[in-house]
Amino acid sequence: MSLLIGTAAGAFEYDDGVRSTLESTRINHIATDGTDWWAVDGSGRIHRNGEATARMPEGAVPLCIQPSRGVVWIGASEGRLYSLERGRLIEDEFFANAPDRDEWYTPWGAPADIRSLALDADHTLYINVHVGGVLRYDNTGVVPTIDIEADVHEVAAHPKRKGLIYAASAHGLGVSHNGHDFEFFSDGLHAEYCRAVVASDQTVLVSASTGPRTSQGRVYKASVEGGAFTPAHDGLPDWFDDNVNTHCLTARGDHFYLGFGDTVWVSDTGANSWSELVTGLPKVTCIR
C-alpha cells in the first residue's frame, strides 16, 4: 500500500510520486486495515478508501480511527468513543461510563478528547484521553492504566508483542510490558515533553520538546524495551521549530516516516539517517 499522508487540505498518496486521493477539510487521522484505509476529517466525515461512508452525530468531531476485526473504532471530542459496524455508527456505552471520567480535564477548561487509539498484537484496544491517561478496553471492560497526570499525547503498540505499549507523555516515554503498568524513560532527551511515538520490531521512535509551544523539537530513538535515547536527526533539521505532532510518526517494517510542516521524511536505516521524501504539501497532520 502507498504511504498515506493527511494534511490540512485533504489526503495524498505517495508511491514514486505524490497524488491527491481525498479532497477534504483537515484530515485528523488515517489508519489502515489490510488493503483498506480509513480516515476522519474535521467536518465529521468517516472515509473508507477515499469515499465518505458515515458522518458523526452533530457536535462530535472524529479525532482518531482504528479498525479491528470487522469493527472500526472512532475516538472523538469530549471523550466519546464510537464503533462503526455494518454501516451503523454507535456510541460505546461502556466507554461513556468509563472509570474516573469525572477526573478528565484540559488545561484550557474544555472537555477532554480522545486523542489517539492503538491496537496491540492481541487486538486489545488502548484509548488515550487528553487529559485522562490511557484506558485498556478488552473483554473484561474498560480499565484505566497510566496516571491521568502523565498527560499522554499519543499511545502506540508494538507491532508483534501483545501488551507492549508506549505512551508519549509530558514526563517522557511511558513503556508497559503488560498493558497496564508503565515505567517512564527520559535519559538522553533534551526535554521530557513528548508528543508522538511509534515502534518497529526493534526500535521505538519518539518526538520530544521543551513544551506545548516550543522552538526546540527533536526526534529520538531507543530500544523497544525502553532505556536511554539517542538523537535520530541525521538528515533532519537540527531542531524543529515546533512539536513533531501526534500521528506524524509512522513505521512500515524497517522504514520510518516523519511528517512536519509541508514535508515528509523517510528512514530505511532504523532511524539512523533520513532523506526528504516529498515536500510542498499542505500542512501535514498525520501519516500512515
- Mean pLDDT, each 10-residue run in order, the chain (288 residues): 95 94 94 95 97 96 96 98 94 96 95 98 97 95 96 98 98 98 98 98 98 97 95 96 98 95 97 97 98
Q: Are strands 80-85 and 71-76 parallel, antiparallel or unpaired?
A: antiparallel
pLDDT at 254: 85
Contacts for 8 with CB less than 8 Å, ≥ 6 apart: 26, 27, 282, 283, 285
pLDDT at 253: 87
pLDDT at 10: 97
pLDDT at 16: 86
